[in-house]
Structure 1
Amino acid sequence: MSGQSPGPAPAEARGTRRAPADRVRQALVAAPLAVPLLLVCLVLTLATDRFLTTGNLENVLVAASIVALPGLAMTLCIAMGEFDLSVGSTVALTGAVTCTWLVDGRPTLVAVVAGLVVGAAVGLANGLVITKLGVTPFIATLATLVIVRGLSLVYTDGRDVIVNDEALKYLVAGRPLGVPMPIVLAVLAAVLAWWTVNRTRFGRWVCAIGSNREAAVISGLPVDRIRIAVYVLVGLAGGVWGVLISSQLQKGSGQLGAGFELDAITVVVIGGTSLLGGSASVIGTLLGAILIETIRNGLNLLNTPAAYQRISVGLLLVAALAVQAIRRKAPTEALDDV
């Protein structure tokens, strides 16, 4: 019949009209730090004209990339419901070994590989103590933190090991295709981490262990082997961190890396990966690293004392844990989806 008024729009049409808003909401869920990061950048842009410059933004991304590398490995560990407190000490020992081997006249590649092997060995020791001796991760990695720090000081005899090696320096100062090497390494590591978490059995198994370890054991998963492998990856990533820091400073020292474990854990937690385990957010970890280094950079530009940088990292960690606790206790489905 002509002149008939149109009925209500079908659900599909209404859903289509809401699609852009839904996509924005899903993006914010996937990357919850995007808005805080933009706000921090806005504040720093207004506070100092030195922040929004090409050179400064590149410095922020380079620093964030160096922190993101161990953060991505720590993401797997925390998704498994565990964490590693020994990463900072691993940085010191790895850097000390690498620089000492360089001073002794060994090729740069050999020295770097030696440092990475040391980092992986520390991770293997953690994994074996935790899985085979039944020591809790907190106690085991805390003990490793102290032991490895002591080994670093003994190995260097308490002195800085100064080097001047162009090949080692390239790991931080190199610019393949005009892009700083740390950013290249972080992008490659992020792609590998995302693929591992979302496209491999290993990534699914890691999250399954974090969700319910007993159920994972009953299901027949090789739980101990997976846990050991994750700790080896964290140790190896700590080794990469140590090599990069030594490349940047052109020295090894038993004092390097103090407190770095807080950074590695914080970038993961503020990025949305729960300390209770069961899920992993690779994008969140990357944004967490960028947020922390943006804040540090801004505090430097504003001539804020260095101690406040550590305070800011601690406050971010507390805030992230508080948000996670609120989300767990939220009674409504809407809050669960935030």
Structure 2
Amino acid sequence: MTDALRKAPLALPLLAVALVLAVTTNSFLTVGNLENVLVAAAIVAIPGLAMTFCLAMGEFDLSIGSTVSLAGVVCCSSIIDGMPALLAMALALVVGAVIGLANGLVVTKLGVTPFIATLATLVIVRGLSLAYTDGHDQIVSSAALKYLVGGRPLGVPMPILLAVLCTALAWWTVNRTRFGRWVCAVGSNREAARVSGLPVDRIRIAVYMLVGVAGGFWGLLISSQLQKGNGQLGMGFELDAITVVVLGGTALLGGRASVIGTLLGAVLIETIRNGLNLLNTPPAFQRISVGLLLIAALALLGLRRRTVKAAPVPVTVREAAA
């Protein structure tokens, strides 16, 4: 039991929040409402899983929210121009990959710190989104695009199914592949990883591209929900992606990744948001709650570092290089 709680520390807080909402509201435990919570959590969890690799590497990407916007408007405008929906969606993912590649190259080849590099990308890509749309909505009516969120294969909402598949793939990558070990090794000690022969720059670029593709897919999911693209979409989404990862227990300074924790972090945030909606709380307080959760998670991480004298590093550089 103790080991299970250590691996999934958000299980008890999530249960506590659910119990409070079950007592204080009449509709929280309805099937439809719980499904809405899980769908919303799945949409956040998918890019959160990619961000897990980035934080485990000891870095982060602030541009993912702007990637959401540009990928969405590229997809929707392409469909409006007559491009087949599947090809337009693939183009949106390519856009995300290119943004990630640009981030990776700036960080590794130019030596710009991730904070400055991805902050600059955030501003540039947001500007491209607004220029691309000239400030107008790109409204579409596409059954294929809508299926990303509205589809129900085997009776399961598509976002939930996609999140389960992505979680399984991410867990396997972190725990069963050299790439997962390499990412954590780079986060533990980048220079030691480089001396040990790991392709550090290629690993970093690959992770930034992964985050970019995830941001592009996030943009497709949001556009699927709204059936439109807009240059303003995705603002603040980078906070959501980072928060679910930090809440889940992935080390902010790198070296450790918690895939299941990220998934639970997404469910916790969306449960709280859902509860605030049911309690008729003003929307602004939803953003405040996310910020407070992030501060609480960082405070707990700091407390853990002070109280745990010798926390073992899950993946050493020597193990990763083997």
Normalising by structure 2, report the TM-score: 0.96
Distance in 2 (CA, whole Å) between partners of 1:68 and 1:91 is: 14
Q: 2:270 aligns with which of 282, 286, 293?
A: 293
SS of equivalent to 2:253? coil
Query: Is 1:314 equivalent to 2:291 in the alignment?
Result: yes
State the 1:258 CA deviation. Answer: 0.2
Q: Distance in 2 between matches of 1:332 and 1:251?
A: 51
Asked whether 1:220 is paired with 2:197, we answer yes
Structure 1: distance between partners of 2:42 and 2:80: 27
Choose from 64, 71, 76 the match for 2:48: 71
Alignment partners' CA distance in 1, 2:278 and 2:79? 35
Match of 2:123 among 146, 162, 167: 146
Matches within 5 A, 1:30-49: 30-49=7-26
Question: What residue in structure 2 maps to residue 246 of structure 1?
Answer: 223
Partners in 1 of 2:109 and 2:308 — Cα distance? 39
Q: Which residue does the alignment assign to 1:83?
A: 60
Report what 2:34 is aligned to: 57
* TM-fit CA distance, 1:331: 4.9
| Alignment pair present for 1:130 and 2:130 | no
Q: Alpha-carbon deviation of 1:318? A: 0.3
Choose the corresponding residue for 1:259, options 231, 236, 250: 236
Find the counterpart in structure 2 of residue 280 from structure 1.
257
Task: Provide the C-alpha distance between the structure 2 equivalents of 1:193 and 1:223, rounded to a whole number of angstroms.
Answer: 20
Q: How does 1:98-109 map to 2 (within 5 A)?
A: 98-109=75-86
AA in 1 matched with 2:259 = V
What letter is aligned with 2:125? V
Q: Give the Cα separation in 2 of the matches to 1:256 and 1:333.
A: 43
Identity of aligned residues (%): 76
**What is the distance in 1 between the residues matched to 2:100 and 2:24?**
42
SS of 2:28's partner is: coil
Give the residue type in structure 2 aligned to 1:182: P
What is the SS of the residue equivalent to 1:280? coil
Deviations along 1:269-316, one digit per CA (max 9) or x if unpaired, are: 000011100010000000000000000000001110000000000000
Secondary structure of 1:182's counterpart equals helix
After TM superposition, what 4+ stretches of structure 1 lie above 4 angstroms from structure 2? 331-334
Deviations 1:10-43 (A, max 9, x none): xxxxxxxxxxxxxx00000000000000000000
Cα offset for 1:167? 1.1
Question: Which one-letter code corresponds to 1:291 in the other structure?
Answer: L
Amino acid across the alignment from 1:93: L
Shift of 1:127: 0.2
Amino acid in structure 1 at the alignment position of 2:158? M
Among candidates 229, 248, 266, match of residue 271 of structure 1:
248
Partner-residue secondary structure (3-state), 1:106 = coil
Q: In structure 1, how many angstroms separate the alpha carbons of the residues matched to 2:124 and 2:37? A: 32
State the distance in 2 between where 1:256 and 1:234 align: 17
More off after superposition, 323-332 vs 81-90:
323-332
**1 CA distance for matches of 2:308 and 2:136?**
56
Deviations 1:196-236 (A, max 9, x none): 00000000000000000010010000000000000000000
**How many angstroms apart in 1 are the aligned matches of 2:145 and 2:266?**
24
Q: Which deviates more, 322-331 or 109-118? A: 322-331
SS at match of 2:262: helix
For residues 215 and 333 of structure 1, the distance between their equivalents in structure 2, rounded to whole angstroms, comes to 20
Equivalent-residue separation in structure 2 for 1:89 and 1:232 (angstroms): 14
Distance 1:249 1:27 in 2: 38
Query: Pairwise CA RMSD of aligned residues?
Result: 1.3
Selected match of 1:183 from 151, 160, 174: 160
What are the Cα deviations for residues 117-176 of structure 1, in whole angstroms up to 9, with x where unaligned? 001100000000000000000000000000000000000111110011111100000000
Greater Cα radius of gyration, structure 1 or 2: 1
Partner of 1:11: none
Provide the residue aligned with 1:18 in structure 2.
Answer: none
How far apart are the structure 2 equivalents of 1:333 and 1:260? 35
